[in-house]
Amino acid sequence: MTAPRPTVLERWNPTVKLATVLVLSTAALLVTDPATPAIGWVLTVAALLVLGRVPGRTLALGHVPFVVFATSLLVVNVVTRPGGDALPLGPLTVGADGLTIGAALAVRTLFVGALSLALVLTTDPVRLMTSLHQHARLPATWTFAVLAAHRLLVELPDAWHTIRCAQAVRDPRRRPGRLPRSPRSLGAAAFALLVGAVRRSERLTVALESRGLGCGPRTSSRPVPLGVPDVVAAGAVLAVAGAVVAAGVLGGWVTGIGALTA
């Protein structure tokens, strides 16, 4: 069975992709109107669905923490920020300034979150670190350390499940098909997981040191290419973002960070 062909976003050089995401995220901090980040969020989600072929369910679940944080920003600004015309919002009356700024911050959170998902869901971690080592001159000690930490984190869910199953086998009072849920058993499982992670990290450290990590230049078995299409893709994304901002300036709906202190 052949592996699925990489998508457009997956083929994009990870270093260039990361730099583009950082530029867009930083630029989003300078805009305080809700329309501009909302357009950016729609375009990012569309790119993930079409160019990244990310399943809608995965994309929706990835948005959950950002939606929660965005909602908190909206509520806090609506409740605490006075000013502007009074607007009825159900049983409450809120200021227009608080609603506008809160909505802008909330949508901006969703936009930055969608950019983060574009990087996480369409980028292989090993390929990212290899590309950063090649093209961003990131030291080999850093890249190997990050990859080692990522490997440990990936293994934690399976280790947790194994520990919990072992607890269930040793518990004579357990019901068939159910894992123990008492605070004592959960605490013991968490402690065992922590001890196991520390021991695995120690073994991994010894293995890296025994292979001469950091002693002179190193080569990559699977180098990540960086070509003209990668740079062109970044330029196209930034050009679209610039066009959205320019349209907002001409349309009069773009506001800057000065609106936060107004």
CA distance 121 to 155: 18
pLDDT reported for residue 48? 93
pLDDT reported for residue 1? 47
CA distance 99 to 171: 54
Walking along the chain (262 residues) 10 residues at a time, the average pLDDT comes out as 74 92 91 88 93 91 92 82 60 66 88 92 87 82 77 82 80 65 81 86 75 62 82 92 88 70 52
What residues pair up with 95 in beta bridges, in sequence order?
86
Among 66, 76, 75, residue whose Cα is nearest residue 109: 66
Where do the structural domains in the chain lie, given as residue ranges? 8-128+225-260, 140-210
| Half-sphere exposure of residue 130: CA atoms within 13 angstroms, side-chain side | 14
pLDDT reported for residue 66? 94
Count of other CB atoms within 10 angstroms of residue 30: 11
pLDDT reported for residue 232? 93
Residues 6+ apart with CB under 8 A from 208: 144, 148
